[in-house]
């Protein structure tokens, strides 16, 4: 059977961007920049983008495009003994998929709450005690499924399933063609409003004020490199699967640059949005900004709801913010489920409909572990291990295999033969030396910290 294909080039780029832009851009990047030198962080970040992000993206696009398979098949075509690397990546993708969907579920709940700010004034107690019911150890609740968390997760699975089941062009591409422009519009509309609030510019000042002393700090560089791989969805089977649906004639270099630049540009924009809001909140509460900044789950479900309480027209800005979060999350979730589904289609020769049903069905059941009142604990644990160990190890192994076991110059001549602009020797240097050395250092540091 002929492999499915994207309908248009823009469709592919939007889907790749849809995968890359996710919760990580909105709740991880702004805080990371703030923590690691503010404006000065952009130097290591840009460096990581150019020496690791772009080469890695070109490499994965070329693997999918040339070898016409999801990660396991692509790696097995490079060498029969390499297939496991593809399955290792599919495994990482599966694990991320089941907890990421829980966060999308929470965001769907909060989208509902936002219309009336029904989270009340103590957003911290609301999230942890009332919504997640973390402290509730009554026997009837212990390990019990929380229906009010499970139901929005069903909605998220339903949308992902519909896109994957329908297919690459009619489902995934169509979904992203609706979602991505909507996401950009919503974020720009939010910024257009919040930037004029009192204190917003102070927030931006905090974000962008460069602390150049941090540039010499190794931690800042590893933060930048660590963020780049996750934010670009590379190293966990996604971009290989997506690029395996590219038509023969595809400008790999150009597509990779566009995907990376749009993702990183979006991160910058998200940083402006978040810090304008935080600056306003600090001003309203007469607190120093350092007391209101946060990241991750705390930022999205505690700090932002509290900020929304203070905003003008909260019943509009609140729902728009959470809808943006949902859309960013769903387009990433679709990509990660496709990475798993396409690997199974390749291997077992199942129909797309059957593979999509089984993957989403099993994924749904497993993800219900995160809808219990032990969910957050489990999520933190799994997230930590995946981000700080498994994903970095997978990226490092991929670089070593391509850079040292095989001939990376072959990839360069391949992409240069089909792309409009060509890439130079720097590509090989980044794949063989710069990226693996940085990754090895970060992974080593993380492992030492984990076991200490
Ligand atoms: N690039 C995504 C992000 O920054 O949020 C990473 C990602 C997470 C992709 C989860 C896909 C996914 F399901
Ligand atoms: Na996304």
* Mutation pick for ligand 1 pocket among 53, 172, 230 (CB with most ligand atoms within 8 Å): 230
Q: Taking a C-beta distance cutoff of 8 angstroms, is the pair 252, 415 a contact?
A: yes
Model confidence at 79, pLDDT cuts 50, 70, 90, reads very high
Model confidence at 143, pLDDT cuts 50, 70, 90, reads low
Per-residue pLDDT averaged across 146-161, rounded? 96
Of all protein residues, whose CA lies closest to atom 13 belonging to ligand 1?
333
- What is the rounded distance in angstroms from the CA atom of residue 68 to the CA atom of residue 88? 19
Per-residue pLDDT averaged across 177-206, rounded? 97
DSSP 56-80: HHHHHHHHHHHH-S-HHHHHHHH-G
Kindly tell me the burial class for residue 370, based on how many C-beta atoms sit within 10 Å of its own C-beta (0-12, 13-18, 19 or more).
buried
Q: Which atom of ligand 1 is nearest to the CA of 232?
A: 1
Return the ligand number nearest the Cα of 100: 1
DSSP 311-342: SSSHHHHHHHHHHHHHHHHHHHHHHHHHHHHH
Using the Cα atoms of residue 50, residue 53, residue 57 and residue 60 in order, give the sign of their dihedral: positive
Nearest to 207 by CA among 47, 35, 22: 35
Locate 143 and state its tokens: 């390990």
* Mutation pick for ligand 1 pocket among 15, 20, 232, 242 (CB with most ligand atoms within 8 Å): 20
Per-residue pLDDT averaged across 172-190, rounded? 98
Residue 404 in this model has a pLDDT that exceeds 70: yes
- What is the rounded distance in angstroms from the CA atom of residue 369 to the CA atom of residue 244? 32
Return the ligand number nearest the Cα of 327: 2
State the chain's mean pLDDT as an integer.
95
Return the ligand number nearest the Cα of 326: 2
Residue 274 Cα to ligand 2 middle (Å): 17
Residue 277 in this model has a pLDDT that exceeds 90: yes
Domain ranges of the chain: 9-450
Centre a 10 Å sphere on the Cβ of residue 192 and count the other Cβ atoms it contains: 9
> What's residue 375's pLDDT?
84
Return the ligand number nearest the Cα of 96: 1
Residue 139 in this model has a pLDDT that exceeds 60: no
Per-residue pLDDT averaged across 305-312, rounded? 97
Residue 331 Cα to ligand 2 middle (Å): 4
- What is the rounded distance in angstroms from the CA atom of residue 51 to the CA atom of residue 231? 15
Name the percent of the chain lying above pLDDT 70.
98
Residue 242 Cα to ligand 2 middle (Å): 14
Residue 118 Cα to ligand 1 middle (Å): 29
Q: How far is CA 80 from CA 71, 72, 76, 395, in A?
A: 13, 10, 5, 19
Residue 15 Cα to ligand 2 middle (Å): 9
Return the ligand number nearest the Cα of 242: 1
Please write the tens of the pLDDT for every residue from 12-58. Answer: 999 999 999 999 999 999 999 999 999 999 999 999 999 999 999 99
Q: How far is CA 257 from CA 177, 218, 236, 254, in A?
A: 19, 27, 19, 5
- What is the rounded distance in angstroms from the CA atom of residue 254 to the CA atom of residue 422? 9
Return the ligand number nearest the Cα of 20: 1
Cβ neighbours of residue 122 closer than 8 Å, sequence gap 6 or more:
none
pTM flag (> 0.95): yes
Q: Taking a C-beta distance cutoff of 8 angstroms, is the pair 432, 404 a contact?
A: yes
Kindly tell me the burial class for residue 313, based on how many C-beta atoms sit within 10 Å of its own C-beta (0-12, 13-18, 19 or more).
exposed
Q: Taking a C-beta distance cutoff of 8 angstroms, is the pair 230, 29 a contact?
A: no
Residue 216 Cα to ligand 1 middle (Å): 29
* Mutation pick for ligand 1 pocket among 24, 99, 240, 390 (CB with most ligand atoms within 8 Å): 24
Residue 418 Cα to ligand 1 middle (Å): 28
Nearest to 259 by CA among 5, 434, 61: 61
Q: How far is CA 104 from the centre of its chain?
A: 12
* Mutation pick for ligand 1 pocket among 100, 226, 232, 324 (CB with most ligand atoms within 8 Å): 100
Residue 187 Cα to ligand 2 middle (Å): 13
Per-residue pLDDT averaged across 397-404, rounded? 97
- What is the rounded distance in angstroms from the CA atom of residue 397 to the CA atom of residue 181? 35
Q: Which atom of ligand 1 is nearest to the CA of 332?
A: 11
> What's residue 142's pLDDT?
53
Residue 53 Cα to ligand 1 middle (Å): 14
Q: Which atom of ligand 1 is nearest to the CA of 20?
A: 1
DSSP, collapsed to helix, strand or coil, labels residue 249 as coil
Residues with CB under 6 A from ligand 1: 19-20, 22-25, 96-97, 100, 230-231, 233, 332-333, 335-336
Residue 18 Cα to ligand 2 middle (Å): 4
Tokens 């995934």 -> residue? 172
Please write the tens of the pLDDT for every residue from 55-70. Answer: 999 999 999 999 999 9
Using the Cα atoms of residue 256, residue 87, residue 70 and residue 351 in order, give the sign of their dihedral: negative
Centre a 10 Å sphere on the Cβ of residue 174 and count the other Cβ atoms it contains: 17
Q: Taking a C-beta distance cutoff of 8 angstroms, is the pair 8, 318 a contact?
A: no
> What's residue 140's pLDDT?
56
Class of 9-450 in CATH: mainly alpha
Q: How far is CA 71 from the centre of its chain?
A: 18
- Per-residue DSSP letter, 262: H
Residue 139 Cα to ligand 1 middle (Å): 35
Nearest to 328 by CA among 59, 87, 108, 35: 108
Of all protein residues, whose CA lies closest to atom 11 belonging to ligand 1?
332
DSSP, collapsed to helix, strand or coil, labels residue 106 as helix
Tokens 């070109």 -> residue? 58
Q: Which atom of ligand 1 is nearest to the CA of 23?
A: 5
């Amino acid at each position: 059977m002929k492999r499915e294909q994207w309908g248009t080039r823009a469709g592919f780029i939007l889907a790749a961007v849809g995968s890359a832009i996710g919760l990580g851009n909105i709740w991880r990047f702004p805080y990371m920049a703030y923590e690691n030198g503010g404006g000065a962080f952009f130097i290591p970040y840009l460096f990581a983008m150019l020496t690791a992000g772009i080469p890695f993206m070109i490499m994965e696009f070329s693997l999918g495009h040339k070898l016409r398979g999801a990660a396991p098949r692509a790696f097995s075509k490079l060498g029969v003994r390499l297939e496991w690397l593809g399955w290792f990546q599919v495994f990482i993708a599966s694990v991320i998929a089941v907890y990421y969907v829980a966060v999308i579920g929470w965001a769907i709940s909060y989208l509902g709450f936002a219309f009336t700010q029904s989270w009340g004034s103590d957003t911290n107690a609301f999230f942890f005690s009332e919504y997640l019911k973390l402290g509730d150890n009554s026997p009837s609740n212990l390990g019990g499924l929380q229906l009010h968390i499970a139901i929005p997760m069903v909605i998220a699975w339903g949308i992902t399933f519909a896109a994957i089941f329908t297919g690459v062009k009619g489902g995934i591409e169509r979904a992203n063609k609706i979602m991505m422009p909507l996401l950009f519009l919503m974020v720009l509309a939010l910024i257009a409003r919040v930037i004029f609030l009192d204190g917003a510019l102070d927030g931006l000042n905090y974000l962008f004020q460069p602390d150049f002393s941090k540039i010499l700090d190794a931690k800042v560089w590893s933060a930048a490199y660590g963020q780049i791989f996750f934010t670009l969805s590379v190293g966990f089977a996604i971009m290989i699967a997506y690029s395996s649906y590219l038509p023969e004639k595809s400008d790999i270099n150009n597509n990779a640059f566009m995907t990376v630049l749009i993702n990183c540009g979006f991160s910058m924009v998200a940083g402006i949005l978040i810090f304008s809001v935080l600056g306003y909140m600090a001003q309203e509460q007469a607190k120093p900004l350092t007391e209101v900044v946060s990241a991750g789950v705390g930022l999205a479900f505690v700090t932002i709801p509290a900020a929304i309480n203070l905003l003008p027209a909260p019943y509009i800005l609140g729902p728009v913010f959470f809808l943006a979060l949902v859309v960013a999350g769903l387009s990433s979730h679709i990509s990660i489920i496709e990475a798993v589904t396409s690997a199974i289609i390749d291997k077992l020769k199942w129909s797309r409909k059957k593979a999509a049903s089984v993957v989403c069905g099993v994924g749904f059941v497993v993800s219900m572990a995160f809808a219990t009142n032990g969910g957050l604990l489990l999520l933190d644990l799994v997230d930590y291990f995946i981000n700080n160990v498994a994903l970095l190890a997978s990226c490092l192994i991929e670089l070593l295999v391509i850079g040292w076991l095989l001939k990376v110059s072959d990839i360069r001549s391949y992409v240069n033969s089909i792309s409009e602009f060509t890439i130079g020797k720097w590509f090989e240097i980044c794949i063989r030396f710069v990226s693996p050395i940085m990754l090895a250092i970060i992974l080593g540091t993380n492992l030492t910290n984990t076991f200490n």
